[in-house]
Amino acid sequence: MKQICDILDKSQRHVMAIVNVTDDSFYSTSRTYDSSSVAKRVEQALREGATILDIGGYSSRSGAVDISVEEEWRRVRMGLSVVRNLTFDIPISIDTFRSEVVLRAVEEFGPVIINDITAGEADDNILEVASKYNLPYVAMHMRGTPQTMQQITNYPEGVVNEVYKYFAKRCAELRERGLKDIILDVGFGFAKSLEQNYELLAGLKRMEDFGYPLLVGMSRKSMIYKALGGSPEDALAGTAALHWEALRGGATILRVHDVKEAADVIRLFSIYEKCII
């Protein structure tokens, strides 16, 4: 658990490598279908400086197809097996909103970080699992489901204010349920328009008020490639630029497809911030 607890130290910054054990994630290059492709992805991520591996078996892109718990677990279990055959020295997070997937993962492979895109709204039992096993918990802001979220982007009080108010209420509820190690993710791309994503990035520093580490997931998303008139394959430079701004806004964890580039941004930002007067 020591490596997992290190993630909660806000004086450190981390690169969370995306390991998509899926066949329909929005960035096709990131898809890993079998154990050999998962192993190749993990080995590369470790070489390039990943400090967390985020394994997901359920695509949360807009309009993604829903899958069963059994199918999601089959994918996640394969990913966990591959990683633990390669190394025991790196923390693993599970990108899931289903308590059964987390429970099976913990029982077979030991402690993990829960990365829940619904902050416990989709499956309330996931909070019981997190509390029982004292697991770090990433709570993300979203509305609706991956199938409906982009039709729910109206924020009358402004997206920054409403996300802030949501976390103020939700963090209190999570603490009441026994969760101690909370990480916040404002949910770029989840029930936000292109412009709202940039408003949220500009207001990210407000989320430091809660005192929790901030995770940012913007890697190659439509907020970048649509703004530039390209595709996910064209969005690496834009991703690096926005990662810099996220670090300025207080992010401590960058969830990424491109590990080396994110690690380089963190290294350069660390030099830069020492020179700020």
Residue 228's CB: how many other CB atoms inside 10 A?
Answer: 12
> Which two structure tokens, joined as six digits, stand for 232?
């996910």
Distance (Å, whole) CA 186 – CA 4: 21
Task: Enumerate the H helices of 93-215 as residue ranges.
Answer: 99-109, 125-132, 159-176, 194-202
Given phi > 0 = left and psi -120 to 50 = alpha, else beta, which region is 110? Answer: left
Q: Which of 248, 255, 260, 274 is catalytic?
A: 255
Distance (Å, whole) CA 72 – CA 89: 25
Strand partners, 92: 53
255 assigned to active site: yes
Strand partners, 94: 55, 114
User: Length of the chain in residues, anyone?
Assistant: 277
Please report, for the chain, how many H helices and E strands are present, in that order: 10, 8
Q: Which of 221, 226, 260, 267 is catalytic?
A: 221
Q: At CA 215, angle to CA 209 and CA 219, rounded to 5?
A: 135
**Which of 58, 89, 86 minimizes the C-alpha distance to 72?**
58
Catalytic residues: 221, 255
